[in-house]
């Protein structure tokens, strides 16, 4: 049986140490697979299985952390098996975030290079990126760091050959077939197009992470002056962004 045939038949269980179990759905990244991952996470939350600590969705799998003193690996598999049935189409659309994004070259430091490498004008790069309907596939790598699927094919590029030692929080970048938003300052090798003043990770909020897997994201271009004004409000804890709930 090939890997594709196996996944078409049923997900597979993979051990992850002595306190986590991975349910792997596919060997690709796409919206249908993501929907099944999130559907299982919702079912597990609803089942309230004793011993399960938390679930962590990724692009194509769900990691289930559990207390081995409360439930064994085999017992957990047995509890998960019936939850895997008929997962397709079981997840409603997530929240829709409309984020201001400044594509000014002072913040979108790779915009000119991306335009050159794609054969587009800088304005066309901004238009293609800001009009794309993005979906959050997963949150990880850094606290609140969002991986967004839906990047237009004409913007697909490899990561930078020489990663930066410092990428500012709020930086919006692209690589391969995805876009990301840096939640905190960190090293990074993605191509930076813009920056949003909206904090993705803020300990003054509950929860601190702004986004969750399954959410949607749209970017609204703003000027550098507008960015500076909103960034000042964000630093003061006065910037509020309200998502649209569960839109299609």
Give the residues across from 209 on adjacent strands: 201
Please state, in angstroms and rounded to a whole number, the distance separating the CA atoms of residues 67 and 172.
Answer: 37
Where do you find CATH 2.40.100.10 in the chain?
Answer: 96-235
Give the residues across from 186 on adjacent strands: 167
Where do you find CATH 3.30.1360.40 in the chain?
Answer: 3-84
Give the pLDDT confidence of 149-202 residue by residue, as tens digits: 999 999 999 999 999 999 999 999 999 999 999 999 999 999 999 999 999 999
- Identify whether the C-beta of residue 150 lies closer than 8 Å to the C-beta of residue 132: yes
Global pTM reads: 0.81
Give the residues across from 15 on adjacent strands: 21
Instruction: Look at the block and give the residue holding tokens 């919006």.
Output: 172
Give the pLDDT confidence of 97-135 residue by residue, as tens digits: 999 999 999 999 999 999 999 999 999 999 999 999 999
Count the neighbouring beta carbons within 10 Å of the beta carbon of residue 204: 7
Helix (H, G, I), strand (E, B) or coil at 103: coil
Q: Is the peptide bond prior to 64 cis by the omega test (within 30 degrees of 0)? A: no
In 3-state terms the chain splits into helix, strand, coil percentages (rounded to 5) of 25, 30, 45
Q: How confident is the model at residue 221 (pLDDT cuts 50, 70, 90)?
A: very high
96-235: what fold? Cyclophilin (2.40.100)
Give the pLDDT confidence of 223-232 residue by residue, as tens digits: 999 999 999 9
Give the residues across from 167 on adjacent strands: 186
Which architecture does CATH list for 3-84? Answer: 2-Layer Sandwich (3.30)
């Amino acid at each position: 049986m090939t890997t594709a045939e196996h996944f078409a038949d049923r997900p597979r269980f993979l051990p992850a140490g002595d306190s986590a179990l991975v349910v792997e759905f596919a060997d690709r990244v796409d919206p249908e697979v993501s929907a099944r991952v999130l559907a299982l996470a919702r079912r597990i939350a609803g089942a309230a299985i004793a011993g399960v600590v938390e679930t962590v969705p990724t692009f194509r799998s769900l990691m289930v952390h559990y207390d081995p003193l409360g439930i064994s690996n085999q017992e957990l598999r047995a509890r998960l098996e019936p939850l895997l049935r008929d997962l397709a189409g079981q997840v409603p659309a997530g929240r829709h975030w409309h984020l201001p994004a400044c594509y000014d070259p002072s913040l979108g430091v790779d915009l000119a290079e991306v335009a050159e490498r794609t054969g587009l004008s800088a304005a066309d790069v901004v238009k293609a990126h800001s009009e794309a309907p993005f979906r959050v596939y997963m949150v990880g790598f850094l606290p609140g760091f969002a991986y967004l699927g839906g990047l237009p094919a004409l913007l697909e590029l490899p990561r930078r050959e020489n990663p930066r030692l410092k990428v500012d929080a709020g930086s919006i970048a692209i690589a391969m077939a995805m876009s990301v938003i840096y939640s905190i300052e960190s090293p990074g090798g993605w191509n930076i197009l813009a920056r949003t003043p909206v904090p993705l990770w803020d300990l003054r909020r509950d929860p601190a992470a702004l986004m969750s897997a399954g959410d949607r994201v749209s970017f609204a271009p703003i000027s550098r002056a507008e960015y500076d004004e909103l960034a000042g409000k964000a630093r003061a804890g006065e910037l509020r962004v309200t998502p649209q709930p569960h839109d299609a």
